[in-house]
Amino acid sequence: MKRIAAEKALEYVEDGMIVGLGTGSTVEYFLPKLGEKVKEGLNIVGIPTSHRTKTIATRCGIPLSTLTEHPEIDVTIDGADEVDPDLNLIKGAGGALTREKIVAFSSKREIIIVDETKLVQKLGSFSPLPVEVIPFGWYPTKLCIEREFGCRAELRREEENPYTSDNMNYILDCEFNGIEDAEKLEKELKSIPGVVETGLFIDMVDTVIVGTREGIKLLEK
Ligand code: 5RP
């Protein structure tokens, strides 16, 4: 289901475009297909959202650049952890939420590729909300989030150590059991000193390509 969604996304990439490249296993089906098109003569430049995507895209022969060279992106193809009926998202299980959000914000068109298990009625129903925080004072930041929002905020770990993002920050995975007002939560979380970014993507998405058992389903804003 992830693979067919990723293949469909190729149709949105045109010659001459600057293309934002998301992060995650669904995007990793997309990158080799895009690489094949480049080898056949498609002229595009990719802007990766993570070190991992940069490495894979390079291996696939996709020419890459930066937001400094290309501050405006034509289309971005990225994955998501949850998609609600208004096409708002939770992202960041792969840890790239901050770069993904900057790239999405710089994109004329944001296209999300998911399998059908990612569709939810309410964000935060199944996935924790990742919140990127600076390492300094991460513990009082965690306590503040837990106190203010009544959630559990778990420091993401990699074996024994705290997981660090490409920005050298920590991630708190916040369990909400359903988020009532995602827009309000986003604003309130961002007002806490130490919070860098949240995995809530509100009103940023144009199209969601859903791979289902029956084939492709398109959700448009
Ligand atoms: C990474 C992300 C990913 O896009 C999200 O976690 C979906 O991943 P996958 O395609 O592996 O299910 O937000 O930060």
* Per-residue model confidence as pLDDT tens digits over 55-79: 999 999 999 999 999 999 999 999 9
Distance between CA 104 and CA 208 in Å, rounded?
13
| Atom 4 of ligand 1, nearest CA residue | 79
Distance between CA 143 and CA 146 in Å, rounded?
5
Query: Rounded to whole angstroms, what are the CA distances from 188 to 89, 93, 133, 148, 191?
Result: 17, 21, 14, 9, 5
Distance between CA 95 and CA 104 in Å, rounded?
15
User: Of 1, 2, 3, 23, which is best to mutate to test ligand 1, by the most ligand atoms within 8 angstroms of its C-beta?
Assistant: 23
Contacts of 11 (CB under 8 A, 6+ apart): none
What pLDDT is attached to residue 45?
Answer: 98
Q: Which helix (H) or strand (E) holds 115?
A: strand 107-115
**Structural domains of the chain ordered from first start:** 2-116+202-214 (3.40.50.1360), 129-196 (3.30.70.260)
* Per-residue model confidence as pLDDT tens digits over 154-187: 999 999 999 999 999 999 999 999 999 999 999 9
What pLDDT is attached to residue 97?
Answer: 98
The answer to whether the beta carbons of residues 79 and 22 sit under 8 Å apart is yes
What pLDDT is attached to residue 39?
Answer: 98
What pLDDT is attached to residue 78?
Answer: 98
| Atom 1 of ligand 1, nearest CA residue | 94
The answer to whether the CB of 96 is under 6 A from ligand 1 is yes
What pLDDT is attached to residue 110?
Answer: 98
Claim: this prediction has a pTM higher than 0.95: yes
In the reported structure, the alpha carbon of residue 24 is separated from the centroid of ligand 1 by a whole-number distance in angstroms of 4
Q: For this structure, is 100 an active site residue? A: yes
* Per-residue model confidence as pLDDT tens digits over 124-135: 999 999 999 999
Is 56 in a helix, a strand, or coil?
helix
The answer to whether the CB of 173 is under 6 A from ligand 1 is no
The answer to whether the CB of 92 is under 6 A from ligand 1 is yes
Q: Which of 184, 187, 162 is nearest to 172 (CA)?
A: 162
Q: Mean pLDDT across the stretch 74-87?
A: 98
